[in-house]
Structure 1
Amino acid sequence: MKIAPQGLKRGDAVGVIAPASPPDPGKLDAAVRFLKNLGLHVKMGRAVAKKHGYLAGKDEDRLRDLHDMFEDPSIKAVICACGGYGTARIAQQIDYRMLKNNPKIFWGYSDITFLHTAIRQNTGLITFHGPMLSSDIGRDDVHPLTKYSFQQLFQQMTLTLTDEITPLETVVEGKVKGELTGGNLAILVTTLGTPFEIDTRGKLLLIEDVDEEPYRIDRMLNHLKMAGKFSEAAGILVCDFHNCTPKKREESLTLQNIFQDYIVSEGKPSLSGFKIGHSSPNIAVPLGAEAVLDADQKQLTIEPGIS
């Protein structure tokens, strides 16, 4: 059963957590000011300022923050400060029944992809693949559309992403409807063979990544293909692959070569060029919401992610 979280209103409280790596304190402060300017009260998780190697505190600390924010009835949304690495480490310890009984907005991307997949597939909750606080909103050069994405949390908005917003390119022609799923490519691959393996059956699969060389993108797409994730999908959204250029190897296939090999060959309606993920702007989308991908008209229409 699909669950759409309740939307926000001015005066609501939101919880900020760092379920992966620790955020940049200065950028986080700037982002918190942004949330307050939206009329929101902010409650900071106890582990946000902690450091345990490349993690924002130990696993139990980050898990407790996630549980506390969902259990607290005064908190109406849970927003991730940044990504990095670490969410998969806590996935098996999450109380998904409690999350399902306390549905609320959950927002983030990058390493948060593992939690999006785990939460949605275990609870039915629609979650938001959207710009994070320290990583995006706290930057000096944050794009206006990145900021505007947060308006999806306050009002029911049907998103229509077209060639007029960002240049889009038809990869495979066709029109198809399905539930939006996916996220960061590297993280999606790590779900394979686990209890949280990404389910793409009849869905629109979104993929994006950053700082990965083409041969690594090739390897990960091949892994998804062999696992049947492209053949089972209804359609594919190729989003931003920022700074995914050859570094170690001078001779390389281009990303276009690689997408041709793994996506065009599947024959599923596909569009590329969406500024979703590690990009500027970083446009938020509700994962789990119904969407229509029209590759012929270069358009993606997504139903509201809140109730």
Structure 2
Amino acid sequence: MIRPEKLQKGDHIGIVAPAGPIDIEKLKAAVPFLEQLGLRVVLGKYVQKTNGYLAGTDQERLDDLHDMFANPSIKAIFCARGGYGTGRIASKLDYELIKNNPKIFWGYSDITYLHTSIRQKTGLVTFHGPMATSDIAKDDFDELTASRFNQLFDPEAFTYTEQISPLHVISPGKAEGELVGGNLSLIVSTLGTPFEMDTKGKIVLIEDIGEEPYKVDGMLNQLEVSGKLADAAGFVVGDFANAAPTLDSSLTLTEVLNEYFHALNKPVLSGFKIGHCFPHVAVPLGVKASLSSNKKTLEVDPGVVKELEEIL
């Protein structure tokens, strides 16, 4: 495990768009929040590019990522949005460059593919958190969501409790393991690739948006038959936004989750405000975590280190 160095006031941070094209006005609206944190924002060279449903060509999006990791003055890399496209560039990333230049990498949704590939290829801890144009720029971007950026400046362990949101026990138990995961559809899309998510002994976070119960059923079935559910130590079920069924006859999302998780004999808790929602509680991926159904808590180690020498 490689934890990046913490941020300090005055640090330069880069914004890139490794997936879908951005709305530049929304990006402009998000920048003041980052500046209020004391950060100096540097935009990727190709961040405003559009190539259909992609933010520029594969090479342009790769170049921005590589440039940000290679630039010693850039201390963190924030993704502007998700959408689609990171799976197209994962096999072309320079993982040796990333490993030799560890720094904060932050995003979610389609960025899940890069969280997985970077962690499994380099050991770098990354951050599942709200993004510039898709979250920070929104009117309902709230204080709790904003407060989770503080972990990048003042690293300390974090405990998610029911003081944040009601949590529901799908399967009882307690487990410790590395926290991994993210967007469910992206996790499934890694299966059969060199970046297939390793869930063995891990606490797996899942969340998604716009996926009806039958589609969630299909994805969980794929994880089940591939052994990923059995391998995991436990599951953190985040937000599933816009998941209401449109079929005349349908199982509910709760029924689907219960069917796959209830008899796993490992802790599975739902109700976490992590994902396409507000508040959106950002968490590091690749760190030690503890999940307890008895206490209804998720305890997570810090994702950054206080000083650079702790990395070396």
TM-score normalized by the length of structure 1:
0.98
Deviation string, structure 1 residues 105-134 (Cα, Å, up to 9, x no partner): 000000000000000000000000000010
SS in 1 for 2:269: strand
CA distance, structure 1, for counterparts of residue 133 and residue 150 of structure 2: 18
- Describe how 1:65-214 pairs up with structure 2 within 5 A: 65-214=64-213
SS in 2 for 1:265: coil
CA distance, structure 2, for counterparts of residue 221 and residue 133 of structure 1: 30
Given candidates 268, 271, 274, the residue that maps to 1:270 is 268
SS in 1 for 2:15: strand
**Partner residue of 2:44?**
45
Between the aligned residues of both structures, percent identity stands at 56
Deviation string, structure 1 residues 101-160 (Cα, Å, up to 9, x no partner): 000000000000000000000000000000001000011121111111111111112111
- Aligned partner letter, 1:90: I
| Gapped regions of structure 2 (runs ≥ 5) | 306-312
Q: Which moved more, 1:255-264 or 1:81-90?
A: 255-264
**Partner residue of 1:296?**
294
- Aligned partner letter, 1:300: L
CA distance, structure 1, for counterparts of residue 78 and residue 290 of structure 2: 27
**Partner residue of 1:64?**
63
Q: Kindly state the Cα deviation for residue 297 of structure 1 after the two structures are TM-superposed.
A: 1.1
SS in 1 for 2:263: helix
CA distance, structure 2, for counterparts of residue 256 and residue 49 of structure 1: 40
**Partner residue of 2:308?**
none
SS in 1 for 2:187: helix
Q: Kindly state the Cα deviation for residue 265 of structure 1 after the two structures are TM-superposed.
A: 2.4
- Aligned partner letter, 1:48: V
8 Å contact from structure 2 (residues 173, 265) kept in 1: no
Q: Kindly state the Cα deviation for residue 261 of structure 1 after the two structures are TM-superposed.
A: 1.3
Deviation string, structure 1 residues 25-49 (Cα, Å, up to 9, x no partner): 1211111111111110111001110
Q: Which moved more, 1:144-153 or 1:201-210?
A: 144-153
CA distance, structure 2, for counterparts of residue 107 and residue 119 of structure 1: 12
CA distance, structure 1, for counterparts of residue 243 and residue 278 of structure 2: 15
CA distance, structure 2, for counterparts of residue 304 and residue 20 of structure 1: 27
Q: Kindly state the Cα deviation for residue 164 of structure 1 after the two structures are TM-superposed.
A: 1.2
CA distance, structure 2, for counterparts of residue 127 and residue 226 of structure 1: 28
CA distance, structure 2, for counterparts of residue 263 and residue 23 of structure 1: 36
CA distance, structure 1, for counterparts of residue 26 and residue 294 of structure 2: 40
SS in 2 for 1:28: helix
- Aligned partner letter, 1:181: V
- Aligned partner letter, 2:46: A
Q: State the Cα RMSD in Å.
A: 0.7
CA distance, structure 1, for counterparts of residue 138 and residue 25 of structure 2: 9
CA distance, structure 1, for counterparts of residue 137 and residue 286 of structure 2: 27
SS in 2 for 1:223: helix
Deviation string, structure 1 residues 59-78 (Cα, Å, up to 9, x no partner): 00000000000000000000
**Partner residue of 1:23?**
22
8 Å contact from structure 2 (residues 174, 266) kept in 1: no
Given candidates 284, 287, 299, the residue that maps to 1:286 is 284
Deviation string, structure 1 residues 181-233 (Cα, Å, up to 9, x no partner): 00000000000000000000100000000011110000000001111111000
- Aligned partner letter, 2:256: I
**Partner residue of 2:241?**
242
Q: Which moved more, 1:139-148 or 1:55-64?
A: 139-148
Number of residue pairs the alignment of both structures matches: 305
Q: Which moved more, 1:148-157 or 1:83-92?
A: 148-157
Deviation string, structure 1 residues 226-279 (Cα, Å, up to 9, x no partner): 1111100001111100111112x1110011111111111222111110000111
- Aligned partner letter, 2:183: N
Q: Kindly state the Cα deviation for residue 8 of structure 1 after the two structures are TM-superposed.
A: 0.1
TM-score normalized by the length of structure 2:
0.97
**Partner residue of 2:310?**
none
